[in-house]
Structure 1
Amino acid sequence: MTMEKKVDHSRRAFLRGGALLVAFTLVPAARRAWADTEVDTLGTVVLAPDLPGSLRTNPYLDAWIRVGPEGITVYTGKVELGTGVKTALLQIAAERLEVSPTAINLLTADTALTPNEGYTAGSHSIFDSGTALFNAAAQVRELLLQSAGRSWDVVPALLTTQEGAIHGPAGQRMSYADAVKNVDLHLYAKSESPAMPATGFKLIGHSLQRLDIPAKVSGGPAFVQDIRLPGMLHARVIRPPRPGCTLEAFDAESIKTLAGVVQVIRDGNYLAVVARDEWQAIKAMRRGYESAHWSGGQAIPESRDIHTLLERLPSRRYPISHEGTPEAATDNRYRARVTKQYLMHGSIGPSCAVAWFKDGTLTVWTHTQGVYPLRAGIAEMLRLPPDRVRCIHTEGSGCYGHNGADDAAADAALIAMRIPGTPVRVQWMREQENLWEPYSSAMVTEVQANLDAQGRLQDWNYELWTTPHNERIVNAGRLLPARLLARPFISAPSVPIAQPEGDGDRNAVPLYTLASTRINMNFVTEMPFRTSAMRSLGAHINIFAIEACIDELAARAGSDPVALRLAHLADPRARAVVERVRDAIGWSQKSSEPGAGIGFAFARYKNIMGYCAIAVRLRVHPQTGEVQVDHVVTAVDVGQIVNPDGLRNQVEGGIVQSTSWTLYEKVAYDAGGIRSYDWSGYPILRFSQVPKKVDVHLLDQPGQPFLGAAEIVQGPMAAALGNAVANATGRRWLNLPLTRSEQPS
């Protein structure tokens, strides 16, 4: 397995010596509130606010496309997380360059080579990077046509391209490699690109086999866990029993005598062992756990008290939507309190990273979602110039958000600096992953709304309490190992993501037409647990709560819940996914089978991205409360579809994941500590519990902008499950997960 990409120091002056450009576009051009500014809402530099997608922050064409004698190389700052996005990005670039996908070498997320697109998160890969490549590739092709036209004295409009060559009307032929000799691709992109009708797409809109699958199914080297470098050493870390502990005693000498042990590292409360093979490292780690004695530590609350605690802890109140004038309440009103427990990412493979400090440069192979932010954090932690740290994304076996990948990379970096010239592999253990990864926040929401005499939604009041969903690496203090050092780093203050993206308040504003809204977020900053990003952030519970309210209001008014939704949806694309699911499922709320139920839900992710409607048929066992999902029907609209099979994979995967979250998952803990340290203490969906049948309807929008797909289904699926359980049992369950033990007696 080739682990290191060769750095071409001749390319792109603006990337030499490090990163000039930062972050990623947050919303489409039509919805940008900051389009006339030079700084976006995350405080990152926007060099070209009028350009589409990530061209706004990386406007030079040669940041994305390189053509030379060795072929065509395409660069993206986004990473493959198992979503198939690498394949889709390749399709987009190949389509607009009019070459075969096999003619392109696609490089992803490497601080020495690729543009800085911040994090691969929030369903932004195709939305931003795909849009950038769609335009950059088209403009590069146009420049190559102009070069050939000048050489032949032919108008470019008379030229055609095929498989990396330009053809003239008199039989002329010139390769892209020859045409680029007279072109400088270090140019600012233009706001307008050559048009290409969707009817002419040969790759976009068609299923291409995923690039990342063969190695995964054949047992080949597919993940960062598979990296093996010459002379590589193996390391394990020894964590405190809980955050805030102080190391009082540690017998390093007894560990150094163990076979194969190369080094024992202690720096304040940070402990690690390094050995010649992995089993030796594990044995040394176990001895380290036996000999380490700790004191103190942060208090952990009882899980039964967490939601009351969230409402009492110090918080900052953010108004999210205050519009319209509340009307007098009618009898058709509903009020509920909805809760969610802490969730963990539950990555199947615990976090891993490899680092190598060689010739004055530290190289880190990591399953991070953001190589540039991680590089900055590691450089600060090690007090190195950023240009002496290189982070290369390498897939990991599991992600789903901000898990332990960045922290494992920081572990590897710290340890590798102690052993110059030798690569070091750090592999976390399962219990370390479960105990130390950032969790998805527990939350409390309160919803209250009513219908007027005409059956119109009004007076929508929504209050939520949450800890941060975005503790990404903005300084060294966000890295777990940096907090344990003798000279510890302090985490940067928590700041929520602004709307329309949202944090815990993601999708807290319904897309439905409402007479008035009073929506607020209480952002809790003193946290009993470390929390950060997990797929869909707060949308999971917010859509669950919103859609439960819609169903309950419809019941009070004696109206059909799908009809009530349609009556309050003005967006024709929203209506289209709702109508498609309604018709495909054969919508009817009545069932003659005891314990059987049907539920419906809809949302547009962040109200700016993909549309999703879902209907679920299920059965609830009357004695055990066990839920069996029989049939799921969904319709999604993500604009122009790039890879239909890849999109269907994403939707089906989201349905399975959300089913697991909603019906089973929660972190178990009490005052004594975290109890979910292995799979026996953290229940996930089993194969026998997977939905028996899933139908996915893809509503393509040829020629329309790309919209994100990876996270559009988690919220609607949770809501449809909740509504179906209520329909089956006649009782509204409002605490996630939907187990009897979580509901009030």
Structure 2
Amino acid sequence: MTDILEKGGITRRTVLAGAGALVVSFSLLSRSLAQEATQPPAPEPPKLPGSLDENRFLDAWIRIDADGAITVFTGKAELGQGIRTALLQVAAEELDVEPGDIELVTADTGRTPDEGFTAGSQSMQNSGTAIRHAAAQVREILFAEAARRLAVASGELKAEGKAVIASDGRSVGYGELVSAQMLHIEARPQSSVKQPGTFRVMGKPMPRVDIPAKVTGGVAYVHDLRLEGMLHARVVRPPSPGARLANLDASGVEAMPGVVSVIRDGGFLAVVSEGEWQAVAAMRALATAARWEEVATLPEQADLPAVLQDLEREVGVVSESGSPDIGDGKTFEATFTRPYQIHGAIGPSCAVARIEGERLTVWSHTQGVYPDREAIAEMLGMPLEQVRVIHMEGSGCYGHNGADDAAADAALIAQKLPGRPVRVQWMREQEHAWEPYGPAMLVKVRASLGGDGRISGWNYDLWSNTHSTRPGGAGALLAARHKEQSFTPKTPELNISPSGNGDRNANPTYVLPNKRVLWHFLPDMPLRVSALRALGAYANVFAVESTMDELALAADADPVEFRLRHLEDPRARAVVELAAERFGWSNAAPPSGRGRGFGFARYKTLAAYLAVAVEAEVERETGRVRVVRAVSAIDSGEVVNPDGIRNQTEGGILQSISWTLYEAVTFDDTRITSIDWSSYPILRFASVPDSVEVHIIDRPGEPFLGTGEAAQGPVAAAVGNAIRNATGRRLYDLPFTRDRVRNAIGA
């Protein structure tokens, strides 16, 4: 052994030659392991604010060039919710510059941090918080460097015009202060963010930066993108979910004017042309030429509640406390249903893709550029680093609509026609028939009152599948499912989390010491489904708040007072009281044919608080319901742009009225039948309320809570409660169509 070590140590050959060397190697390894065992484990990195925790370097968020140009990066996408404006305000406040001094780059896998999906009203919570703290730290770095160069204390400096200025008038520009790698440092857990009393930009109204192009005909949406040499494509979808392409003679289509290519890959069919109208004409001809075999795969629509119960595979406990058994007190028991509903993008989905060399670039209205990149790369068999997805707004969103599928269509076609950009535009009937729907749901509630007039038992059962089947995974994309070498969607799994999914807001904010909330999970659905604004909160809050009104009636209590009786959170109480006050809530009998209704929820039970009161008129002869006015109060934490909060809440109220009174996907045993605006009606201008009020409770210094999805559930309940107040009849099945209202009141 000594000879081996003296002659040059252990080599691969000496180890293989004899057992002695092998023993030494094990001995050395054991010593190494023993040393490692005595060393303490490396400490966990400190938790950073918001999305900084996943993207920890300052220059991932903020860049300052030598000429003073400032760029701020966010992984979140502008979806019409005004997030670009609010994030500009946050960055400008902390950097001591004007919002117009900043270029904001939104979701782009080639430039911005990976912040997952823009969803769940979390953009301000995650990205806003990250940008705020990063900008505050960058400001401190600039001031420290300026103090060093000017030989003064940091306290003697101020910022103005993208420069740091000393009390004697000397100044240094931001660009001069920042060297190449100065901002490539890890963020700190705490920052000296500005305090509310010092704000110049935050907390004040600022015009939305995304609006001008939308109202002047500028390039506002991905639909408007035009690249040199761009081709136009249309996809021919199967006529029904279970259809299989049996035969195709495309020779006539290939000979049509302007047609560049007819593409078939398994059941995926597309036509590519030089001009857009040529593509539309060729698509229609190709659809006529295709022969499909169809099978009846859809259930009887009237039987949908029973179908949902039969599809149950697993039961999860969302919340349980005390003894929820129903006692001898007054009891309310009911079943509530929600149909499939669509996102209803006003502009059908669109995307553009181009392959140059080995690199693919896709412009898409996806809500998650990084997950979409992963799914597209998997579908095409491309290395992830060769795929770039850039977000561009689309004229319609509110969840996982057809945007990701359109991006996959464009990418698949572009791969077959490298060198030229390809624009894919969906048709209206494709959008309505093939986008992932908001899931149908079934809820059963059984609750009772105690002798003290409070809720003594609460049993809540919901039947739902997952409300998000977004990419990653190629199986989430229609094009990947229809290819010859097809991809299978991932099997959904029951996942109970604090923010909820199908169970979102199933656990009320009210104090209910005896309760049991169960999620009867459905892994499969008859129709393709995914995330629609508010996820399960829309149906769950509708059911919870309808039940609260019925229990208030049973307790002979005012509906607002009854809610306050079960609320301890002072912020929850504040929005309920403010909405009632500004509405002029009263128990006096309403005018004939009119009713008042109230609704409340804290979104996800951990985000924004919202209460709303509505007045509705009900025409007994026709069954028509119109919301006359709506008054809401919202607390979404510290206010950055009050106009943005007001816009989002007003929009949420109108959208919820539309869902609640009109919207439902219809189908027969084979096909979707609600494929246009006549078969899928939405709220029209003539039915918009006379007034919609949004009263904001600002919470300076409190965390951002998000706004965009707070109104949907409370408004649905308030409308239902108003109908109950006007007619004496409770409606349990959404939407409240004219026929259902007429049938309920016996007109």
Give the TM-score normalised by structure 1. Answer: 0.92
Q: 1:200 aligns with which of 198, 201, 211?
A: 198
Aligned partner letter, 1:444: L
Aligned to 2:373: 375
Q: Contact 1:338 / 1:734 at 8 angstroms: preserved in 2?
A: yes
* Matches of 2:493 and 2:590, distance apart in 1: 50
Q: CA deviation at 1:497?
A: 4.9
Q: How do 1:421-440 and structure 2 match up within 5 A?
A: 421-440=419-438
Instruction: Give the Cα–Cα distance (whole angstroms) in 2 for the partners of residues 314 and 563 of structure 1.
Output: 37
Which of 303, 318, 331 does residue 320 from structure 1 map onto?
318
1:146-165 mapped onto 2 (5 Å cutoff): 146-165=144-163
| Correspondence list, 1:622-633, <5 A | 622-633=620-631
Q: Match for residue 262 of structure 2?
A: 264
| Contact persistence 1:221–1:227 (CA under 8 A) | yes
Whole-Å separation in 1 of the counterparts to 2:228 and 2:144: 48
Partner residue in 2 for 1:53: 50
1:277 aligns with 2:275: yes
Match among 213, 216, 219 for residue 218 of structure 1: 216
Tell me how far apart the structure 2 counterparts of residues 592 and 499 of structure 1 sit (CA, whole Å). Answer: 42
Deviation at 1:499, TM superposition (A): 2.2
Contact 2:537-2:713 within 8 A present in 1 as well: yes
How far the C-alpha of 1:584 sits from its partner, in A, is 1.1
Deviations for 1:443-481, whole angstroms, at most 9, x for unmatched residues?
000011112111122221100011221001020011110
- CA offsets per residue over residues 114-156 of structure 1, 9 Å max, x none? 0000000100111111011110100011111111122233332
Q: How many aligned residue pairs are there?
A: 700
1:608 lines up with 2:606 in the alignment: yes
CA distance in 2 between partners of 1:58 and 1:683 (Å): 43
Q: CA deviation at 1:741?
A: 3.5
| Structure 2: distance between partners of 1:524 and 1:49 | 39
| 2:324/2:459 contact within 8 Å kept | no
Structure 1 residues 168 and 271 mapped into 2: Cα distance closer, same or farther (>3 Å)?
same
- 8 A contact 2:639–2:699 mirrored in 1: yes
Judging changes above 3 Å, is the alpha-carbon distance between structure 1 residues 677 and 692 closer, same or farther for their aligned structure 2 residues? same
Tell whether 2:436 aligns with 1:473.
no
Match of 1:354 in 2: 352
CA distance in 2, matches of 1:654, 1:496: 28
> C-alpha distance in 2, partners of 1:592/1:272?
58
- Structure 1 stretches of 5 or more lacking a match? 1-45
Which of 714, 734, 739 in structure 1 is aligned with 2:737? 739
Which range moves more in the overlay, 390-399 or 183-192?
Answer: 183-192
Which of these residues, 393, 396, 411, is aligned with residue 413 of structure 1? 411
Of 580, 602, 606 in structure 1, the residue corresponding to residue 578 of structure 2 is 580
Tell me the alpha carbon deviations over residues 4-43 of structure 1, each in whole angstroms, 9 at most, x when there is no partner.
Answer: xxxxxxxxxxxxxxxxxxxxxxxxxxxxxxxxxxxxxxxx
Which of 175, 178, 195 aligns to 1:180? It is 178
Shift of the 182–671 alpha-carbon distance from structure 1 to 2, 3 Å rule, reads closer
Alignment of 1:24-35 (within 5 A): none
> Comparing 697-706 with 321-330, which one deviates more in the overlay?
321-330
Q: Distance in 2 between matches of 1:76 and 1:168?
A: 32
Alpha-carbon RMSD across the aligned residues, in angstroms, is: 1.5
- Distance in structure 2 (CA, Å) of the matches to 1:68 and 1:410: 36
What is the distance in 1 between the residues matched to 2:316 and 2:688?
38
238, 241, 266: which is aligned to 2:239?
Answer: 241
Q: Which residue of 1 aligns with 2:37?
A: none
Kindly provide the amino acid, as one letter, of the partner of residue 184 in structure 2.
H
Corresponding position of 2:95: 97
Amino acid at match of 1:389: V
8 Å CA contact 1:354, 1:409 repeated in 2: yes
| 1:358–1:298 CA distance, 2 compared to 1 (3 A) | farther
SS at match of 2:315: strand
Separation (CA, whole Å) in 1 of partners of 2:527 and 2:593: 38
Seq. identity, %? 52
Letter in 2 for 1:66: R
637-646 or 402-411: which moved more?
Answer: 637-646
**1:664 counterpart residue number:** 662
Residue 110 (structure 2) pairs with residue 112 (structure 1): yes
Counterpart for residue 32 of structure 2? none
Deviation at 1:314, TM superposition (A): 3.9
Q: Relative to 1, partners in 2 of residues 1:328 and 1:371: Cα closer, same or farther, differing over 3 Å?
A: closer
Q: CA deviation at 1:298?
A: 5.7
Offset at residue 244 of structure 1 (A): 3.1
Q: Distance in 2 between matches of 1:134 and 1:723?
A: 41
Find runs of 4+ consecutive structure 1 residues off by over 6 angstroms. none
Contact 2:75 2:107 in 1 (8 A): yes
Q: Aligned partner of 1:73: which letter?
A: T
The runs of 5 or more residues in structure 2 that have no matched partner are: 1-42
The CA deviation at 1:740 is 4.7
Q: Distance in 2 between matches of 1:590 and 1:282?
A: 59
In structure 2, C-alpha distance between the alignment counterparts of 1:142 and 1:458, rounded to whole Å: 55
Q: Deviations over 1:651-673 (max 9, x none)?
A: 10001000000011001112141
Paired residue for 2:593?
595
- The residue type equivalent to 1:269 in the other structure is G
Is 1:364 matched with 2:371? no
Residue number among 113, 138, 141 corresponding to 2:136 in the alignment: 138
- 2:394 is aligned to 396
Partner Cα distance (2:178, 2:44) in 1: 26
**Cα displacement string for residues 664-722 of structure 1 (whole angstroms, at most 9, x for unaligned residues):** 10011121411111111101001000111111111111111111100000111111111
The corresponding residue for 1:679 is 677
Amino acid at match of 2:591: E
Paired residues of 2:353 and 2:411 also in contact (CA < 8 A)? yes
Determine the C-alpha separation between the residues in 2 that align with 1:339 and 1:724.
18
Q: Partners in 2 of 1:179 and 1:222 — Cα distance?
A: 35
Residues in 1 aligned to 2:228 and 2:471: alpha-carbon distance in whole angstroms: 30
- For the residues of structure 2 that align with 1:423 and 1:497, how far apart are their CA atoms? 40
Report if aligned partners of 1:543, 1:603 keep a CA contact under 8 Å in 2: yes
- CA distance, structure 1, for counterparts of residue 622 and residue 236 of structure 2: 41
1:509-520 correspondence runs (5 A)? 509-520=507-518
Q: Matches of 2:225 and 2:44 in 1, distance apart?
A: 37
Partner of 1:68: 65
Q: What does residue 485 of structure 1 align with?
A: 483
Tell me how far apart the structure 2 counterparts of residues 614 and 197 of structure 1 sit (CA, whole Å): 31
Q: CA 1:328–1:681 in 2, change beyond 3 Å: closer, same or farther?
A: closer
Cα deviation, residue 302, structure 1: 1.8
Greater shift, 358-367 or 166-175, is seen at 166-175
Q: CA deviation at 1:208?
A: 0.8
Q: CA deviation at 1:49?
A: 6.0
Task: Kindly state the Cα deviation for residue 582 of structure 1 after the two structures are TM-superposed.
Answer: 1.4
The secondary structure found in structure 2 opposite 1:181 is: coil
How far the C-alpha of 1:496 sits from its partner, in A, is: 4.5
Tell me, yes or no, if structure 1 residue 698 matches structure 2 residue 702: no
Q: CA deviation at 1:382?
A: 0.5
Q: Please name the residue that 1:4 is paired with.
A: none
Give the superposition deviation at 1:92.
Answer: 0.3
Quote the offset at 1:427 in angstroms.
Answer: 0.3
Q: Aligned to 1:317, what secondary structure does the other structure show?
A: strand
Matched residue, 1:38: none
Q: Which one-letter code corresponds to 2:51 in the other structure? A: S
CA displacement at 1:593 relative to structure 2: 1.8
Q: Give the match for residue 35 of structure 2.
A: none
SS at match of 1:680: coil
1:330 equivalent in structure 2: 328
For 2:634, the aligned partner's letter is: V
What CA distance in whole angstroms lies between the structure 2 residues aligned with 1:716 and 1:119?
A: 25
Would the aligned equivalents of 1:600 and 1:616 in 2 still touch at CA under 8 Å?
A: yes
Q: Which residue number in structure 2 is paired with residue 29 of structure 1?
A: none
Contact 1:124 1:708 in 2 (8 A): yes
Note the C-alpha offset of 1:373. 0.3
In structure 2, the residue matched to 1:33 is none
Per-residue CA distance 1:313-345 (angstroms, 9 max, x = gap): 142211100111235513322111000111001
